């Protein structure tokens, strides 16, 4: 053997064969294309048929479970209850839309961290000498779930997979960033062009003759402000009543139609469908309780749910009964994470801005006031009000709004406690004497 041949042989032994890695990348790229093209059920069927599903799951596990991975800190390694079905759900969403799975994991972590946080609920009492003092009980979601017979892992799994139904929505729709300001301009433009369909929609939802309002306005800006004020008065947002196709390109509208959505579908309609699909997917995976929570986490059917004993099961702690829908808790966690996350298209909102929005949801009946109270109060009580004293908010009045809401709900809880005789032997009492 010549020296050149010997050198070539040694080099070949030292240099790893790049072909397996390239083949692995090709398989993952093929899997991404499959997931992007079809909904969850169809994608999983094709991945199994082509022998790609296990590859995708193993790559996802490496991403989140190996200690040298930058994603190890996600917290999934500590979720010991995760099954093969869970990893199938995580893996498929991870290659469909990494931003959504990141949001789901953060909601999962937020919900997990919140379980043991206790809201201090004060009660005025008198000691044997007749002196009044303040005592109270720390109520945590952990205790709430225990008394309701709901396993924590059910709630956490619902948090982790609550958006899995988005795999049945075109990515172009999920990435749509049309703001309320954009919608004002779209409405003004379409009404100005004589769009009879949109005019009828505004008439049916807002009770206004949009054409007449447009003609009587002092320019487009004036009309837009009138429409915005009317929507606020009626507690509507454009995404709830205006067909999304107005904010889509022709290609994106065609993609939506191919998924079976009617042409007049609003973004709220699409969100309803993704919730329903999340429930269907989780139910097929054998997660019935999680399905009930996930398919109602936005609570768009709030009025129907209030009459459902299965969905809107009240929380009982001793003799205290709080009508807190567990889906409301998931909704609040979802909203808080989304608002406090920084994105390329938005800033991260501060705590009082976030809590104020949660208060608004409660005041509008979209989540229960008790759930909102317990969530916000627990977060404030964990660090103490002083920790938020120097919080800089860009929207004035938010802190005052939160404080007013908490005071109003605190009074209601006091009344419930007095009437129900809650106290003896229930929870951990904390006390502080008052002057």
d(CA 29, CA 41): 19
> Do 224 and 230 touch, CB atoms closer than 8 A?
no
Distance of CA 258 to the CA centre of its chain: 26
Note the pLDDT of residue 306: 34
Task: Decide: 299 and 271 in contact? Cβ < 8 Å.
Answer: no
Q: Identify any residues that bridge with 120 across adjacent strands, giving them in sequence order.
A: 138
Find out whether 102 and 110 touch, Cβ atoms under 8 Å. Answer: no
Handedness of CA 373, 379, 384, 390 (dihedral sign): negative
Which long-range contacts link 64-73 to residues 24+ away (Cβ below 8 Å)?
64/90
Sign of CA dihedral 49, 55, 58, 60: negative
pLDDT of residue 435: 36
Q: For each successive 10 residues of the chain (435 residues), what is the average pLDDT?
A: 51 55 84 88 94 95 91 87 96 92 91 76 59 59 65 89 91 81 92 92 90 92 92 84 90 87 87 88 92 72 38 37 62 88 75 92 84 86 71 74 89 59 40 36
Instruction: Say what the pLDDT of residue 431 is.
Output: 37
- CA pair distance 93, 103, nearest whole angstrom: 11
266 DSSP assignment? B
| CA contacts within 13 A on the Cβ side of 291 | 12
Question: 226 and 217 in contact (C-beta within 8 Å)?
Answer: yes
32 Cβ contact partners less than 8 Å away, ≥ 6 residues apart: 95, 96
pLDDT for position 426: 41
What's the confidence (pLDDT) of residue 419? 55
**Model pLDDT, residue 280:** 94
Closest CA to 239 of 307, 289, 187: 187
24: three-class secondary structure by DSSP: helix
- Helix or strand (DSSP H, E) at 119: strand 118-126
Position 135 scores a pLDDT of: 52
State the Cα–Cα distance between residues 96 and 44, nearest whole angstrom: 12
Domain assignments of the chain as residue spans, ordered by start = 3-96, 115-162+297-433, 173-274
CA dihedral 397, 400, 404, 406 (to 10 degrees): 120
pLDDT of residue 232: 84
Pair of tokens at residue 434: 């008052």
What pLDDT shows up at residue 320?
34
pLDDT value of residue 14? 57
């Amino acid at each position: 053997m010549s020296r050149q041949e010997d050198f070539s042989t040694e080099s070949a032994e030292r240099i790893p064969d790049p072909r397996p890695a390239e083949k692995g990348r090709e398989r993952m790229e093929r899997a991404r294309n499959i997931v992007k093209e079809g909904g969850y059920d169809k994608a999983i069927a094709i991945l199994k048929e082509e022998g790609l599903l296990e590859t995708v799951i193993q790559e996802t596990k490496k991403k989140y479970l190996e200690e040298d991975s930058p994603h190890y800190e996600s917290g999934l390694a500590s979720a010991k209850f995760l099954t093969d079905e869970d990893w199938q759900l995580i893996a498929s969403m991870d290659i469909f839309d990494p931003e959504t799975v990141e949001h789901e994991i953060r909601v999962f972590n937020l919900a997990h961290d919140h379980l043991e946080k206790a809201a201090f609920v004060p009660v005025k009492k008198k000691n044997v000498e007749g002196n009044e003092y303040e005592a109270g009980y720390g109520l945590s979601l952990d205790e709430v779930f225990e008394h309701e017979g709901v396993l924590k892992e059910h709630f956490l799994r619902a948090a982790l997979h609550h958006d899995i139904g988005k795999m049945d929505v075109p990515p172009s729709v999920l990435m749509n960033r049309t703001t309320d300001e954009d919608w004002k301009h779209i409405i003004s433009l379409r009404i100005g062009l004589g769009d009879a369909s949109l005019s009828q929609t505004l008439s049916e939802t807002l009770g206004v003759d949009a054409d007449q309002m447009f003609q009587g306005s002092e320019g487009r800006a004036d009309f837009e402000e009138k429409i915005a004020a009317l929507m606020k008065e009626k507690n509507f947002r454009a995404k709830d009543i205006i067909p999304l196709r107005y904010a889509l390109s022709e290609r994106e509208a065609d993609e939506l139609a191919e998924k079976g959505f009617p042409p007049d579908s609003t973004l709220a309609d699409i969100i309803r469908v993704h919730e329903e699909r999340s429930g269907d997917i989780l139910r097929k995976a054998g997660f019935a309780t999680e399905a009930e929570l996930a398919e109602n986490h936005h609570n768009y059917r709030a009025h129907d749910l209030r009459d459902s004993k299965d969905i809107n099961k009240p929380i009982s702690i001793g003799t205290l009964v709080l009508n807190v829908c567990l889906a409301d808790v998931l909704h609040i966690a979802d909203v808080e994470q989304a608002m406090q996350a920084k994105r390329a298209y938005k800033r991260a909102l501060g705590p009082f801005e976030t809590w104020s929005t949660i208060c608004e949801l409660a005041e509008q009946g979209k989540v229960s006031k008790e759930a909102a109270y317990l969530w916000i109060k627990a977060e404030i009580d964990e660090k103490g009000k002083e920790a938020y004293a120097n919080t800089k908010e860009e929207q004035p009045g938010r802190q005052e709004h939160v404080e007013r809401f908490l005071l109003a709900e605190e009074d209601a809880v006091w009344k419930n406690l007095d009437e129900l005789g809650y106290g003896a032997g229930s929870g951990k009492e904390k006390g502080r004497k008052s002057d």
